[in-house]
Structure 1
Amino acid sequence: MAARQLLTGRLALVTGGGSGIGRAVCQALAHEGAKVVVADRNENAARSTLDTLLQVNQNKHVMKLVDVSQSQSVHNLFSSISHQLSQVPDIVVNSAGITQDALISDLTEQMFDDVLLVNLKGTFLITQAACKLMVSEKIQDGSLINISSIVGKVGNIGQCNYAASKAGVVGLTKSVAKEVAKYGIRCNAIMPGFIDTPMIGTIPEKVIEYFKKQTPLARQGKPEDVAEACLFLASPKSSYITGEVIEVTGGIFM
């Protein structure tokens, strides 16, 4: 008899699911039996991820368009999920994020606001909506997972806005964890290091090589490395873990 998959019967919502870490998370959760909602503002990217999931199994995986920075869009997302799937997501991964890099002297107010809107406000809006539904539906084993960044801990040249947003995600995570624990809902964060995703495509190769040399494990991370940590936090194997931050960095800045 085949072993029971870790997430059979669970519904997972993954924002930023169209590419990079978000796509790898969708695939990891689907491999363990979860139905997955691939949420992204890029329709083609979301559909591409969905196609990969349908090759994994025939669960009712779906894709949804969302702008996580807009409350109405977030409301429409959850309403659409409820209407189509008649199920509340009990795993929510906030992976949507953007960068707009510049030195502090050149960073515009709009660049700062844009990054905070997606990375921090977007995480707040999705988390708030998910918490309300989980509590109202009496979900007893909900798991909220927020993707932060090691940059939110140590900073990075040219990323004041990004670092501030990702540090904020950690504070949000720890506060939410304290509020929802009494309902059986857990909230944790992951801090990826320098992961090979489209987001770092603008970083010069010499900078990437520098960070590789500074990393004890001597390689750049893969989206799958972060996805496996998400799978652990989504599953019953982490049932006594909440309010924590897991660094997936290969040991850099430890």
Structure 2
Amino acid sequence: MTNVPATPTGSVAGKVVLITGSNRGIGLAAVKLFLTNGAQVFLTDLNLSNAREQLSSHDATSVGFLEGDVTDEASITTVCEAAVAQFGRLDGAVLNAGLSFGVKPWLETTVEQIDRLHSVNVRGSFATAKAAVKSMIASPSGGKGCSIVFVSSVAATYGEVGMAGYTASKWAVRGLSLTASQEFAQYGIRANCIQPGATNTEMFATFTPETQAHICDTNVLKRPADPTEIAQAMLWFISDASSFVSGSTLAVHAGQTPT
């Protein structure tokens, strides 16, 4: 019974957590939720101006910022090392950075767009997990009790018309999470995956009102999620309440189906 929290709870108090894609949307909602629950959070995104403004009341004892590019291994490695330099360790990583081009028919989608989607969604998740795990192992815990959350999509539960590249990339993200749970267990690091459905973010706003209504009609609650509802699942996976959960994929999409 080694490395089992004495009293597993849903708390992340005292944990140091990296959140990518954290300038707005689900990522920023997660930052705020983690901070409210006592975590120290390190943010990264291509641009963090909005997050810096919204979190201006927090000081360097609770929050850290560094612009970074998840598709650039050197950049995201620097981000993870900066988190450890500021807070002394890294306990969790939420791989939230992602990209979508909205609905676009297969025959109108370019190879360059496919490459860009996979660069951010797949390569970015791979590189961030790699850098984060190295920083976790270098932390005082040696990785024990640490946790990684991969962010896939409801689109990775079925084929999505008009979203070939996005759907393929999010299927791949789930595959990475399953492999991560097997490979990093030797260090005591857990890896899990969430599949958000329609969520009230800027990405969702790129769809036409008709498409938004159609998407919402395919889930049982007939509405998009608030970003904080997705962030709650992220928090649970990072917390000790999920200490025996690894290699799992959690649907956070209100039963959304394509029909």
* Same fold, judged at TM 0.5 (above): yes
Contact 2:18 2:43 survives alignment (8 Å)? yes
Give the alignment of 1:1-254 within 5 angstroms: 6-51=11-56, 54=58, 59-85=61-87, 87-101=88-102, 102-137=104-139, 138-253=142-257
Contact 1:18 1:49 survives alignment (8 Å)? no
SS of 1:173's partner is helix
Displacement, 1:45? 2.6
Displacement, 1:8? 2.1
Q: CA RMSD in A?
A: 1.9
SS of 2:247's partner is coil
Q: Structure 1 vs Structure 2: percent identity of aligned residues?
A: 29
Q: Quick one: distance in 1 between partners of 2:209 and 2:160?
A: 16
Q: Quick one: distance in 1 between partners of 2:164 and 2:10?
A: 41
Q: Quick one: distance in 1 between partners of 2:14 and 2:78?
A: 23
Higher relative contact order (CA 8 A, sep 6+): 2
Give the letter for the 1:214 counterpart.
T
Displacement, 1:49? 4.4
Contact 2:81 2:135 survives alignment (8 Å)? no
Q: Quick one: distance in 2 between partners of 1:162 and 1:110?
A: 13
Q: Quick one: distance in 1 between partners of 2:192 and 2:25?
A: 20
Task: Mark the CA change 1:58 to 1:81 in structure 2 (over 3 Å): closer, same or farther.
Answer: closer
Q: Quick one: distance in 1 between partners of 2:77 and 2:155?
A: 30
Q: Quick one: distance in 1 between partners of 2:82 and 2:137?
A: 19
Displacement, 1:116? 0.5
SS of 1:14's partner is strand
Give the letter for the 2:115 counterpart.
D
Contact 1:148 1:192 survives alignment (8 Å)? yes
Q: Quick one: distance in 1 between partners of 2:10 and 2:109?
A: 47
Give the letter for the 1:251 counterpart.
G
Give the letter for the 1:25 counterpart.
A
How many residue pairs get aligned? The number is 247
SS of 2:66's partner is strand
Q: Quick one: distance in 2 between partners of 1:50 and 1:135?
A: 29
Bigger Cα displacement from structure 2, 152-161 vs 222-231: 152-161
Task: Mark the CA change 1:236 to 1:82 in structure 2 (over 3 Å): closer, same or farther.
Answer: closer
Moved over 4 A (4+): none
- TM-score normalised by the chain length of structure 2: 0.90
Bigger Cα displacement from structure 2, 96-105 vs 112-121: 96-105
Q: Quick one: distance in 2 between partners of 1:93 and 1:45?
A: 19
Q: Quick one: distance in 1 between partners of 2:85 and 2:217?
A: 50
- Structure 1: gaps (5+ residues): none
SS of 2:131's partner is helix
SS of 1:250's partner is coil
Displacement, 1:230? 0.7
Q: Quick one: distance in 1 between partners of 2:10 and 2:248?
A: 25
Task: Mark the CA change 1:50 to 1:63 in structure 2 (over 3 Å): closer, same or farther.
Answer: farther
Contact 2:76 2:127 survives alignment (8 Å)? yes
Q: Quick one: distance in 1 between partners of 2:44 and 2:159?
A: 28
Bigger Cα displacement from structure 2, 236-245 vs 218-227: 218-227
- Structure 2: gaps (5+ residues): 1-8
Contact 2:10 2:241 survives alignment (8 Å)? no
Q: Quick one: distance in 2 between partners of 1:176 and 1:31?
A: 28
